[in-house]
Amino acid sequence: MIFNSKSLAIFGIISAAASANAFAPRGGSVATSSAVDMSTSEVAEPHSLLPPDEVLESYSPSIGSKLELEIALTNIKTTFEQKLQKNVNLVRVSAPMFLSKTSGFNDNLNGVERPATFAPRDFQDVKLEVPFSLAKWKRWALHYYDVPAGQGVVTDMRGLRCDDDVDFTHSLYVDQFDWEKHIAQEDRNEEYLENTVKSIYSALVETEKMVEAEYGIKAVLPEEITFISSDEALKAHPDLSPKERENLYCEKHGAVFFMGIGGNKEDGELRHDGRAPDYDDWITPRACGGTGLNGDILVWNPLLKQSFEISSMGIRVNPEVMEKQLDLCGNNDRKELIWHQMLLDGTLP
């Protein structure tokens, strides 16, 4: 069994307050790069990549030098990774820059996004993909490194997302912590999920306190994270969009774990947001009446005045759950891929 987090974009918490380039299309936060300028110039006006005017007018950088900013971001990144490793019991490993298309190791995201693909000069029949994330690769890494139950791996991955909606919180360039933990069968439950979320959130709070002490940027995160069922949130606010519900709860609580992401409502629309069928478990019933042993960590960004996703995570599919979710999504053809065969035959933990 596996516990995973596909994205841990810790810089979102402090980039808006601390970055001298927080609202520039290039540089500043972990999710921006010069690729944004080049790749969106034909489809978006530069101003559309920036926050609303009222945010820009009231914004004053806490760190004025670009060089000082880079030093600060490295400090923050190192601090968070160390605290995450300690709290969740993870070991750092190296990340791949590309994956074989036929292996099935790349993350499929929502199943419609195009990966950046290329063929090596001397092996034109081999198709390689730049990863969206290491959602599948890191589960294989647990097998490769023979990681015991109770321990996991973490890597600082780089990737490209050609079809991402580029704005001041999204980019074509991915720089995120990907981690995966080997868990026992009896730990596939809601309590284990919540305890792990608390461990991750504690690392975020501890890192933010370091930022306040070293850079004078006031900490804004609450000490505790609030757990919200996406199913209950939908019942309470059926007329709001998923983003509006996230904003509502994040503004109220400061930090929220939206539990139960993926799958469709009775009307065929997404229950809250999309999730790949071979990633984490979004069908297992929970005690509260909702379904899914997964979710998203979100925090309230007081400068942007909106919710900000920090982590997409959950307890992994086992063979039985994956087969059901593949069938629900009409993706049974994936069972022929190497990665999926390794999961179905019990090779992967």
Active site residues: 107, 161, 176, 296, 309, 312
What's the first-to-final CA gap in the chain, in angstroms? 5
- Residue 254 · residue 300 · CB < 8 Å: yes
List, in order, residues 6 or more apart from 141 with CB less than 8 Å away. 93, 134, 147, 153, 155, 180
- Residue 107 · residue 223 · CB < 8 Å: no
List, in order, residues 6 or more apart from 3 with CB less than 8 Å away. 152, 180, 181, 183, 187, 192, 193, 196, 313, 314, 315, 316
DSSP symbol at 336: G
- Residue 314 · residue 280 · CB < 8 Å: yes
Cα dist. 231→101, 161, 184, 194 in Å? 35, 29, 27, 17
Under the phi-then-psi rule, with left for phi > 0, alpha for psi from -120 to 50, and beta for the rest, what region is 109?
Answer: left
- Residue 27 · residue 21 · CB < 8 Å: yes
Comparing CA positions, the residue from 47, 45, 11 lying closest to residue 31 is 11
- Residue 3 · residue 316 · CB < 8 Å: yes
Do strands 90-92 and 152-160 pair parallel, antiparallel, or not at all (unpaired)? Answer: parallel
- Residue 182 · residue 349 · CB < 8 Å: yes
Comparing CA positions, the residue from 70, 69, 29, 68 lying closest to residue 49 is 29
Query: Rounded to an integer, what distance in angstroms lies between the CA atom of residue 186 and that of residue 315?
Result: 12
